Every structure is written in C-alpha cells, then in structure tokens.
C-alpha cells in the first residue's frame, strides 16, 4: 500500500474523529489455489493473499464506545457500546468490526472501545474474502493497541468466531487465516484441523506464467442458504461414516466409504468432493515442491469439475470462464471461493494472457452476461501494520 493511501486514511480519520489515529493497519483479500469447502471438514487448503487490502486507522477509547466509519459505505459514523454488542442483531457491514470487538471481549480480552475508520480495495461479494480482510485488519489493530499478544492464527480463530456467531455466517477458517498469515511470493498450505502451516514458494512470473482472477460479477451470499446446506450435508456424511470429520476418510478408502453410504446419493457426492479435493491439495503441494508447476493445471480443472458436478456450487458464468479459458489455451482454471458466483482463477502462460482474456470477454458478451473484471493475482503479503 503506497504512502499516499496510508496518509489519506489517517487524514480522513482526523477529519472524522478530531485527532490523529494511533496507527494504520492493512489486511488482504485472498484467492484459493485449491482446496474448496475442505476447511469446515478439517481438511487442507492452499490460498494466497491478494494485493487488494482493507486499510484501517484506529485509536483506543476507554469509555466503552466503539465508533465505526467506512469510506466505502454511505451513512456516516456508527456509534455502539462494547458492553451492549449482541450477536445476530446487526445486519450491516458494521457487524464485522463490531463482531471482532465482541469476540475479543468474549474471550476475556480487555477491549474498552475504539475509533475506527476504514476503506478497502478488495471487491466485495466477489469471493475474494473482503469480509475476512475487514475482520483481520480490525483484529490486528486491536491486538497491537491493546497489547494482547495474539498470534496470526489466534486472530484468525477469533475473526472466524465473530463471523460465525456475531454475523451469523457458518464459514470455515481459511479466509481469516489466509489474510492473517500469508506471505508475499508464497501460497499457504494450511491444515485446517490444527492450523499447521507451510509457506510454499509460488512465483509464477519467474516461470513465465500468470494467474488471472476473473470476477464474474455474480454476487454470492454465504450467510444464507446453500453454503450452510453443504456444510450440514458434509457433517451428516461424517456422522454416517463414524468419523470426526470427512478429513478422516482417506483417499484410498473412498470407494469403501461410498459403498457404506448406500443410496444416500447427495451425501455420497459431497463426500466424494471433499475426499478427492483434499487429495488434490496434496497433489498440488507435491507438484509445486517438485518444480512441476505446469502440471497443476489438470488438478485445478478436476477440482472445478468436482465442484460443479459433485458439490454443485458452480454457475453458468463460472463454467463459461473455465471452459473458454481452457479452449483458449489456459494451463488450468477453476472457480475459487465459496461458489454460486464470485470469481474463477485461470493459470496461463504469460504469452497467452491477452488471448485468453479477450476470449473470456467475448464469450461473456455473446452469452449476454455482465462484463467480467479480469486482473492478475500476485501472491502478496498478509496482514501488517503500516504506520
């Protein structure tokens, strides 16, 4: 984030609240390379941070008041009391920062109020974790200012709790951990059971490749409906198979597990996706570690087919990105994130990027879909203090 942006956020804070902020922090959005819907099954994921960030300017208060302002939303400063924060009561953007303050206090941390001003370059509703970026930026700021000494993974857990309980969205732990813990030039291989992490070097440009994000502009909504149904279906599968989580079904035990599920057709499909997807994450890690980056292309494509056919969370726009990109020469492509809209990723030779981008734009126009937003994603830094 450039100095003028930091300065702008601090200046705006001063206009709003009458004094300089104590500090400015940033937390990024993410894309997920592979490992979708595995995080609430104790499985593996592999996200990396985007250069797009939420920037927060924050000062402490000691009078129990939480003042919130977003440059990106109309409506002025919202004032709440930290001892009156009530899970499930807020349906606006303010539920995310308020939820973080609530989760910290609920865990026994002495947060006595704050003035917060923020702005974000993470597209919202695009499956790029704008919510997690907002939560983690606020959590990191409060962690520093109140000297709580919490580590990145602990902040991620608290942010997930804020989203699950305060906002009411049954999401897993991937997005918050990605925003808190990713490092530039790497993808994060995360075991969501114990949050153990490995930073995997992922420098595509050095190998003559690029990763594009194609935002279909189809908005998704996680707090309602289909996401929760998939999660409940996976939990049912684990219960029927007598395991703690679907992570515990080994890849070479998949056929036996499916046979045990008999005619539970829908659960069988969900189980098949989760077990094969965990395997694809492990394959991807092995290929990247062996320097065989191009060989991950077919793994990404299989992942998309599994999300489309077994997990059933793709949509015509996402399928069109993947099919068109592959026909135009992409190495691999898949939807990324929660699904039902949002974004796809495309892995391509640098020399093919323009052809592929043009083909996707033309296919969308021909289908009568809203024009997609296409940008290159470079693995960027996780959450940090800027000033």
Residues that bind ligand GLA (CB under 6 A): 32, 36-37, 39-40, 171-172, 174-175, 337-338
Hey, which residues does 31 pair with through a beta bridge?
Answer: 48
Hey, which residues does 114 pair with through a beta bridge?
Answer: 60, 66
For the bound state, the minimum distance from the C-beta of residue 66 to ligand GLA, rounded and expressed in Å, comes to 24
In our burial notation (b when 16+ CB lie closer than 10 A, e otherwise), range 9-29 reads bbebbeebbeeebbbbbbbbb
Positive or negative CA dihedral for 322, 324, 326, 330?
negative
Cβ–Cβ under 8 Å, residues 59 and 114: yes
For the bound state, the minimum distance from the C-beta of residue 192 to ligand GLA, rounded and expressed in Å, comes to 9
If the CB atoms of residues 132 and 261 are measured against ligand GLA, the closer one turns out to be 132
User: Catalytic one among 42, 175, 215, 310?
Assistant: 175
DSSP-based three-state secondary structure for 164? helix
If the CB atoms of residues 152 and 172 are measured against ligand GLA, the closer one turns out to be 172
Alpha carbon distance 214, 171 (integer Å): 22
For the bound state, the minimum distance from the C-beta of residue 99 to ligand GLA, rounded and expressed in Å, comes to 14
For the bound state, the minimum distance from the C-beta of residue 75 to ligand GLA, rounded and expressed in Å, comes to 25
Tokens 């009391």 correspond to 81
If the CB atoms of residues 29 and 379 are measured against ligand GLA, the closer one turns out to be 29
Q: Which two tokens stand for residue 111?
A: 């947060």
Quickly count: other Cβ atoms within 10 Å of residue 147's Cβ.
7
Task: Summarize the chain as % helix, strand, coil (round to 5).
Answer: 45, 20, 35
If the CB atoms of residues 9 and 180 are measured against ligand GLA, the closer one turns out to be 180
If the CB atoms of residues 80 and 133 are measured against ligand GLA, the closer one turns out to be 133
If the CB atoms of residues 94 and 176 are measured against ligand GLA, the closer one turns out to be 176
Cβ–Cβ under 8 Å, residues 195 and 144: no
CA 199 and chain centroid, separation: 17
For the bound state, the minimum distance from the C-beta of residue 312 to ligand GLA, rounded and expressed in Å, comes to 14
Alpha carbon distance 274, 286 (integer Å): 19
Alpha carbon distance 375, 357 (integer Å): 9
CA angle 258, 280, 134 (to 5 degrees): 110
Q: Strands 23-32 and 373-376, how do they pair? A: unpaired
> Is 115 known to be catalytic?
no
If the CB atoms of residues 335 and 353 are measured against ligand GLA, the closer one turns out to be 335
For the bound state, the minimum distance from the C-beta of residue 279 to ligand GLA, rounded and expressed in Å, comes to 15
Torsion angle (degrees, nearest 10) of CA 192, 194, 195, 197: -100
For the bound state, the minimum distance from the C-beta of residue 137 to ligand GLA, rounded and expressed in Å, comes to 16
Catalytic residues: 175
């Amino acid at each position: 984030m450039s100095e003028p942006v930091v300065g702008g956020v601090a200046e705006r804070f001063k206009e709003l609240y009458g004094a300089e902020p104590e500090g400015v922090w940033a937390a990024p959005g993410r894309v997920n390379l592979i490992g979708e819907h595995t995080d609430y099954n104790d499985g593996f994921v592999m996200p990396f941070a985007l250069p797009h960030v939420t920037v927060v300017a924050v000062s402490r208060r000691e009078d129990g008041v939480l003042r919130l302002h977003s440059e990106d939303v109309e409506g002025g400063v919202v004032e709440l009391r930290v001892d009156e924060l009530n899970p499930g009561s807020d349906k606006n953007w303010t539920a995310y920062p308020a939820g973080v303050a609530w989760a910290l206090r609920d865990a026994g941390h002495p947060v006595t109020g704050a003035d917060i001003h923020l702005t974000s370059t993470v597209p919202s509703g695009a499956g790029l974790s704008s919510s997690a970026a907002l939560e983690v930026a606020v959590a990191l700021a409060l962690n520093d200012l109140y000297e709580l000494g919490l580590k990145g993974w602990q902040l991620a857990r608290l942010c997930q709790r804020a989203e699950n309980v305060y906002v009411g969205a049954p999401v897993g732990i991937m997005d918050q951990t990605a925003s808190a813990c990713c490092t530039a030039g790497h993808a994060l291989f995360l075991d969501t059971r114990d949050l153990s992490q490995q930073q995997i070097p992922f420098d595509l440009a050095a190998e003559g490749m690029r990763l594009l994000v194609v935002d279909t502009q189809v908005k998704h909504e996680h707090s309602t409906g289909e996401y929760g149904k998939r999660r409940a279906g996976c939990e049912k599968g684990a219960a029927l198979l007598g395991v703690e989580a679907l992570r515990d079904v080994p890849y070479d035990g998949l056929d036996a597990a499916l046979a045990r599920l008999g005619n539970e057709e829908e659960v069988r499909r969900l189980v098949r996706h989760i077990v094969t997807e965990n395997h694809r994450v492990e394959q991807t890690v092995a290929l990247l570690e062996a320097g065989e980056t191009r060989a991950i292309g077919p793994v990404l494509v299989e992942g998309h087919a599994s999300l489309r056919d077994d997990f059933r969370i793709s949509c015509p726009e996402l399928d069109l990105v993947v099919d068109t990109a592959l026909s135009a020469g992409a190495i691999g492509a898949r939807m990324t994130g929660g699904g039902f809209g949002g974004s796809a990723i495309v892995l391509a030779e640098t020399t093919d990027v323009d052809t592929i981008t043009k083909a996707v734009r033309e296919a969308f126009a021909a289908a009568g879909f809203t024009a997609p937003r296409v940008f290159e994603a470079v693995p960027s830094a996780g959450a940090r203090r800027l000033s």
